[in-house]
């Protein structure tokens, strides 16, 4: 995956400042680049927004009396104890990189063909949304949520770059596919603890780095 990004990065960087993003800093080994922090925060915010959209779609299906079960995204593996939760977290990480990298590659391929950044993003959004709708969407709340969630994914990569796209998928995956609870005495609380630790650690790191050595009140 890293070799693929190294090969792709010189191609996407000249085609817009958003597409390179914090990936250029990470490629240079600069883990304290403020742009890296910014991209993680923006991608995470968009990912949480996508999770909220999915939850809203499930609520709309209930209140609109759509004859389908509510959205259920929880990964059953996260209910099998801490080792399974950690394995699921590792899969989230690898999957997030692949998703963001795939979007970046398709945008880079479509841009010269369609002669425009916005046209490439719109084309990718139409194709991706149509495929998901044809495969799994069976109600209007899910169709609407699919369109919005895919738009947020493409915006995160097209506007902020690979790092933001990875953060988007990580935040969406951990909040959507892990059973979250405020009761830490329940048997599946391990998944909640791991998810919170990962997301809070990423958020604190990104916030600290994004400040670029400045204090929060400056």
Report domain extents, the chain.
42-210
- Concatenate the DSSP letters of all residues of 104-127 into one string: HHHHHHHHHHHTSHHHHHHHHHHH
For the stretch 131-173, pLDDT in tens is 988 887 777 888 888 999 999 999 999 888 889 999 999 999 8
Q: Read off the pLDDT band of 128 (50, 70, 90).
A: very high
The one-character DSSP state at 159 is I
pLDDT digits (tens, 9 = 90+) for 92-122: 888 898 898 889 888 888 888 898 888 999 9
Mean pLDDT, the chain, as a whole number? 81
| Whole-number pLDDT of residue 101 | 86
How are the residues of the chain apportioned to helix, strand and coil, as percentages rounded to the nearest 5? 75, 0, 25
Q: What is the pLDDT of residue 218?
A: 52
Element housing 75 (H / E): none
Q: Scan for tokens 């593996």, then name that residue.
A: 77
Residue 112 to residue 125: CA distance in whole angstroms? 17
């Amino acid at each position: 995956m890293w070799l693929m990004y190294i090969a792709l990065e010189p191609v996407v960087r000249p085609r817009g400042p958003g597409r390179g993003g914090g990936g250029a800093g990470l490629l240079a080994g600069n883990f304290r680049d403020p742009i890296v922090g910014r991209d993680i925060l923006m991608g995470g915010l968009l990912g949480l927004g996508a999770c909220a959209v999915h939850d809203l779609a499930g609520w709309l299906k209930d209140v609109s009396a759509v004859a389908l079960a509510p959205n259920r995204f929880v990964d059953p593996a996260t209910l099998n104890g801490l080792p399974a939760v950690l394995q699921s977290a590792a899969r989230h990480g690898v999957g997030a990189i692949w998703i963001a990298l795939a979007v970046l590659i398709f945008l880079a391929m479509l841009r010269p063909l369609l002669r425009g950044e916005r046209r490439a993003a719109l084309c990718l959004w139409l194709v991706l949304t149509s495929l998901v709708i044809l495969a799994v969407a069976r109600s209007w709340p899910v169709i609407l949520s699919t369109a919005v969630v895919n738009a947020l994914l493409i915006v995160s990569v097209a506007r902020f770059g690979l790092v933001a796209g990875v953060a988007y998928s990580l935040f969406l995956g951990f909040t959507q596919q892990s059973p979250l609870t405020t009761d830490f005495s329940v048997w599946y609380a391990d998944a909640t603890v791991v998810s919170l630790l990962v997301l809070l650690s990423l958020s604190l790191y990104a916030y600290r780095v994004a400040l670029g050595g400045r204090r929060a009140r400056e």
